[in-house]
A and B are shown apart, each in its own frame.
Chain A
Amino acid sequence: MNITANDWMAILPALLTTGAAMGILCLELAFRSERVRSKLDWAAYAGLAGAFYVVLTSLGVPQEAFSKSIVKDDLSSFVSIAVLAAAALAILQAPTYVVQRGVYRAEFYALVLLAATGMIFLAQANELITMFLSVELLSLSIYVLTGITRRDRRSNEAAIKYFVQGAFATGFLLYGMALLHGATGTVHLADIAARLEHMPSFPPLAVAGVALLIAGFAFKVGAAPFHYWVPDVYEGAPTVVTSFMSVAVKAAGIGALARIVLGALGSGSEAWGDLLFVVAILTMVAGNLAAIGQRSVKRMLAYSGVAHTGYALVGLASVSAATTHDARAGASSALFYVFVYTFMTLGAFAFLAWIGRPPSASKPHGEDAEDISDFAGLARRRPAAAAMMTVFMVSLAGVPPTAGFLGKFLLFKTAVDNQQWWLAGIGILTSIVSLYYYLRVVVFMYMHESEAGEGAAPASGDFNIGLAVGLCAFLTVLFGVRPGDYLVLAESAIRGLLR
């Protein structure tokens, strides 16, 4: 195998993020002075910005590399944009926040960058082994990030739970890949597609493989019935970490799932169509119903994350029976949805990290706001923060003129275009349910008064996190009003998969 410069160019974004991660670790070792160490985040931004630049300047030219095991196309670029943005916003929140909690900054930056690298590779993977390795790289980084506040028991517990269950799910994934390989004799997605097309019927072995594969991915993106880890892990992880993992993993996972089902398994859509259909409906129902009862806003957002995975899957499930490329291109709604979901959910979690209780004797660094009563009367104490959280809640509920509305609009449009009335109907009904728990946050912020001395205080405001929240709120409105080229890019990403 000859490795040429072209091969390296195809993975340049991932190389840059890896380089930044390694560089940060080395710099941390080499320099002991706080002056240098406190500037390490700039190295991370440099790596991310470089990767971002490379992605944006090389759109539209599909390119295969490393003997076809890696592909750089619009799908990988689209997912990379979301992942890089999420990583940058996560690192933006971190400097003060993680140091206050006894975490080494450099470790945090490096792990976020490595997770991002895994996600970018996952979006680029064109064969099953690379895909598996990418999943492992991102998962291991996230396991560690979940438990990175070593002295916090909740964080430890979350990390162990996530790790054990995650390892189990990885088993599913690998088993599915093995069966698929057994059925077709190849691990390259393009070859799998070609061989399946020439088979008289979809082999049962492949059906089992697909089912296990989807189960593995369902775990990673937090879809029912493999979502039980989500609330515990999202709640236990440091909020800054949650804000990153809740969105970036989903973007990469949905991207990879789209590549497998539409790219490799397109000819056997009955094998995965019904499965995704059931998973999507279960996920929407389970996530939304469980979210109603939560008093902890962090846990509520975790369940809402489950629900939104279900919405994104509607986009993929809807097109399973479609026969034309135009109809299948509707799956781009799933991509666009995880893209806008990135900003609204990351912003909402960042808001929780931003608004906290003041330091006390037992908690010298303060505490994130979690319980809904912490938000009582917040609109009076911090009108701007409350307004931004309202934007996120409204967007998650799918009310215009926000990105969440446009995203749902596209998803349900895809379902209606393909006459998937059940998906559209259940999606709408569960959206009505979700209004209640999103609105409750707004009600507490604006319409309840805090008891004296209680509630989250403005004192712990951290400028960096505030900036992240502000950026997310701005983008959430911007993409709702002017989605611009991202809609087009999402569609060409899906069209690139269809053949």
Chain B
Amino acid sequence: MDDLRPWVLTLMTFLPAAAGLVLIAVRSERAVRGVSLATMFLVLVLAGWTWAMYDVESAGMQFEQKAAWIAHLKIHYAMGVDGIALAMVVLTALLAPLCLLCSWHAVKDRVKGFFIAMLLLEGGMIGVFCAADLFLFYVFWEAMLIPMVLIIGIWGGPRRVYASVKFFIFTMAGSLLMFLGVLWCYFQAGTFSIPELQAALPNAHVSLHAQVLLFLAFGVAFAVKVPLFPFHTWLPDAHVEAPTAGSVILAGVLLKMGAYGFLRIAIPFFPQAAVHCAGWVVALSLVSIVFGALMSMAQSDIKKLIAYSSVSHMGFCMLGIFSFTTLGLQGGVMQMVNHGVSTGALFLLVGMVYDRTHKRGVDDFGGLARVTPVCATCFLVITLSSIGLPGLNGFVGEFLVLAGAFSVSKAWAAVAATGVVLGAMYMLKLYRDVFFGKVTAAKNEKLPDASGLEIATLAPLLALVVILGVVPRYVLERTEPAVRKIVQTVQNAKAQAHEHHR
């Protein structure tokens, strides 16, 4: 098994991609489905193995692999995960096969292309979280965009072209700014290795002004992905138009890449600038929390409502991260995982309803609890998780974030807490309108309840909602060393700045 250690991340990244390329030559649709699902399942098993074998005591990278890639430019193929990356990898490996299952019957057009795109997307996403070389990170970061754009643009709703182009231009514009930052990092430190850059850059003699510019170059790229107000406008369009699987991946994994980028790159590379800009980032996070929640309340399209709720929830992540306290950062990471699980499940449920009725408006439904009790129960559990009911996962993340924020500023916590209240309002209102009351549309009287396949798709997420709510330790103990390291870096930077001031 020790032989597997350095290879497991590479396998998880390139197995899906390789399967995708092989499937191009396969004609049989059944074979395509089978191979895709088997590959993703294998990746999930590998991810589980990695999770189990991870050494919780160590803060550094684990499962490392390094080889020269473009030796002439000192670019390496370097992979490795810390606790935060590991959590994201496992989340990705879990959500990807569920997306295949939920598309099993829903996608009817160009099935083969869809499955191949999903495989390529999974490989790219895992690559982003595992890359330990800045160049490699950028390659994965960009490369996974293409399948995502195609998934939205080909298999999406009526305004899919507009949504996919908007998504592409927004994210690419951000990425190209990051590109300048990547080059500058190399110019300054002479290496692309992320651990080496994390060690070298905070102590490099760079003016604060330049640091802030660099922080922004990376930060804008990440903020677009998170998305932080006012870079969020691509998100409602992309979420609404994307097919169910696309929405789940977008909400579950893609948004996390933004927050992950702050944790892995923007903050550790430029801690002084991060401290300098923290006030602004927190302000934008708070705006995102409240604005996202208010926008959610005003939506009549269920998918759009959930999309705006993502803006609000990701605002919590960013608030936690930029509180620069262990509590807040742990909460931010936990919230990343929770949001992936809960919102992923919400989109799956909405997708199921949409597949049956081809409607998504809140007004189109009512009284579904009587018609589809299983569906309604699942939706209730997820709703409660999403609004932070103690005992379920959402509570842990929000509580830690608020506690972290409170320890820094009571005002931040107060504003953020209104987001929690508003969250409960719009989610419960949604639940009431859709599932309680009388059945409003005659057609909805005979809706079939969740099928076996659908229950199987939802079950892992429902289980996680409870497990993470009761024993969040499983995640937190793995992320803690990495989080402490970030807090340490930031505190060093604060001390440096203080000294500088005197």
Asked whether any CB of chain B lies closer than 8 Å to the CB of A474, the reply is: no
Asked whether any CB of chain B lies closer than 8 Å to the CB of A443, the reply is: yes
Would you list 16 pairs from A and B whose C-beta atoms are within 8 A, ordered by A residue? A400-B143, A405-B142, A406-B70, A413-B183, A416-B186, A432-B173, A439-B149, A443-B161, A443-B165, A446-B150, A446-B153, A446-B154, A448-B161, A487-B70, A487-B73, A491-B72
Asked whether any CB of chain B lies closer than 8 Å to the CB of A230, the reply is: no
Give the top 10 A-B pairs by smallest Cβ distance, nearest first. Answer: A400-B139, A416-B183, A447-B153, A487-B72, A400-B142, A447-B161, A428-B176, A432-B173, A413-B183, A435-B172
Are A416 and B184 in contact, CB atoms less than 8 angstroms apart? Answer: yes
Within the complex, the shortest CB–CB distance from A288 to chain B, in Å, comes to: 13
Instruction: Tell me the residues in window 168-191 of chain B with beta carbons closer than 8 Å to chain A beta carbons.
Output: 168-169, 172-173, 176-177, 179-180, 183-184, 186-187
Complex contacts, B160 vs chain A, CB 8 Å: 447
Bound Cα distance from A409 to B183, whole angstroms: 8
Bound Cα distance from A424 to B180, whole angstroms: 8
Are B183 and A394 in contact, CB atoms less than 8 angstroms apart? Answer: no
Asked whether any CB of chain B lies closer than 8 Å to the CB of A168, the reply is: no
Identify 6 new A-B residue pairs, CB closer than 8 A, beyond the known A446-B154, A488-B72.
A412-B183, A416-B183, A416-B184, A447-B164, A448-B161, A483-B72
Within the complex, the shortest CB–CB distance from B232 to chain A, in Å, comes to: 19
Size of interface on B: residues with Cβ below 8 Å to A: 32
Are A401 and B143 in contact, CB atoms less than 8 angstroms apart? Answer: yes
Q: If A383-B113, A447-B153, A447-B161 touch, does A428 touch B142 (CB 8 Å cutoff)?
A: no
Q: If A435-B168, A448-B161 touch, does A424 touch B183 (CB 8 Å cutoff)?
A: yes
Complex contacts, A432 vs chain B, CB 8 Å: 169, 172-173, 176
Asked whether any CB of chain B lies closer than 8 Å to the CB of A182, the reply is: no
Are B165 and A417 in contact, CB atoms less than 8 angstroms apart? Answer: no
Contact with B along A77-110 (1 / 0, CB 8 A): 0000000000000000000000000000000000
Bound Cα distance from A111 to B149, whole angstroms: 43
Q: How large is the interface on A (under 10, 10 to 19, 20 to 34, 35 or more residues)?
A: 20 to 34
Asked whether any CB of chain B lies closer than 8 Å to the CB of A205, the reply is: no
Most chain A CB within a 10 A radius of its CB, from B146, B160, B176:
B176
Bound Cα distance from A394 to B120, whole angstroms: 16
Complex contacts, B145 vs chain A, CB 8 Å: 399
Question: Who on chain A is nearest to B188 by CB?
Answer: A416
Complex contacts, A390 vs chain B, CB 8 Å: 146
Asked whether any CB of chain A lies closer than 8 Å to the CB of B406, the reply is: no
Are A413 and B186 in contact, CB atoms less than 8 angstroms apart? Answer: yes
Contact with A along B423-466 (1 / 0, CB 8 A): 00000000000000000000000000000000000000000000
Instruction: Tell me the residues in window 128-145 of chain A with beta carbons closer than 8 Å to chain B beta carbons.
Output: none
Within the complex, the shortest CB–CB distance from A447 to chain B, in Å, comes to: 4
Are A416 and B153 in contact, CB atoms less than 8 angstroms apart? Answer: no
Secondary structure dominating the interface of B? helix
Bound Cα distance from A375 to B172, whole angstroms: 24
Asked whether any CB of chain B lies closer than 8 Å to the CB of A425, the reply is: yes
Complex contacts, A383 vs chain B, CB 8 Å: 113
Secondary structure dominating the interface of A? helix
Bound Cα distance from A128 to B46, whole angstroms: 64
Bound Cα distance from A133 to B70, whole angstroms: 39
Asked whether any CB of chain B lies closer than 8 Å to the CB of A146, the reply is: no
Contact with A along B127-161 (1 / 0, CB 8 A): 00000000100110011011001100110000011
Are A483 and B138 in contact, CB atoms less than 8 angstroms apart? Answer: no
Complex contacts, B498 vs chain A, CB 8 Å: none
Asked whether any CB of chain A lies closer than 8 Å to the CB of B110, the reply is: yes
Complex contacts, A436 vs chain B, CB 8 Å: 165, 169
Complex contacts, A401 vs chain B, CB 8 Å: 139, 143
Question: Who on chain A is nearest to B160 by CB?
Answer: A447
Bound Cα distance from A448 to B153, whole angstroms: 9
Bound Cα distance from A487 to B70, whole angstroms: 9
Within the complex, the shortest CB–CB distance from B196 to chain A, in Å, comes to: 18
Instruction: Tell me the residues in window 470-499 of chain A with beta carbons closer than 8 Å to chain B beta carbons.
Output: 483, 487-488, 491
Are B177 and A428 in contact, CB atoms less than 8 angstroms apart? Answer: yes
Contact with B along A404-423 (1 / 0, CB 8 A): 01100110110011000000
Tell which of B70, B146, B180 touches A428, judged by Cβ atoms closer than 8 Å.
B180
Within the complex, the shortest CB–CB distance from A331 to chain B, in Å, comes to: 15
Instruction: Tell me the residues in window 373-390 of chain A with beta carbons closer than 8 Å to chain B beta carbons.
Output: 379-380, 383, 390
Question: Who on chain B is nearest to A446 by CB?
Answer: B154
Complex contacts, A431 vs chain B, CB 8 Å: 176
Complex contacts, A399 vs chain B, CB 8 Å: 142-143, 145-146, 172
Are B179 and A428 in contact, CB atoms less than 8 angstroms apart? Answer: yes
Are A416 and B169 in contact, CB atoms less than 8 angstroms apart? Answer: no
Are B180 and A447 in contact, CB atoms less than 8 angstroms apart? Answer: no
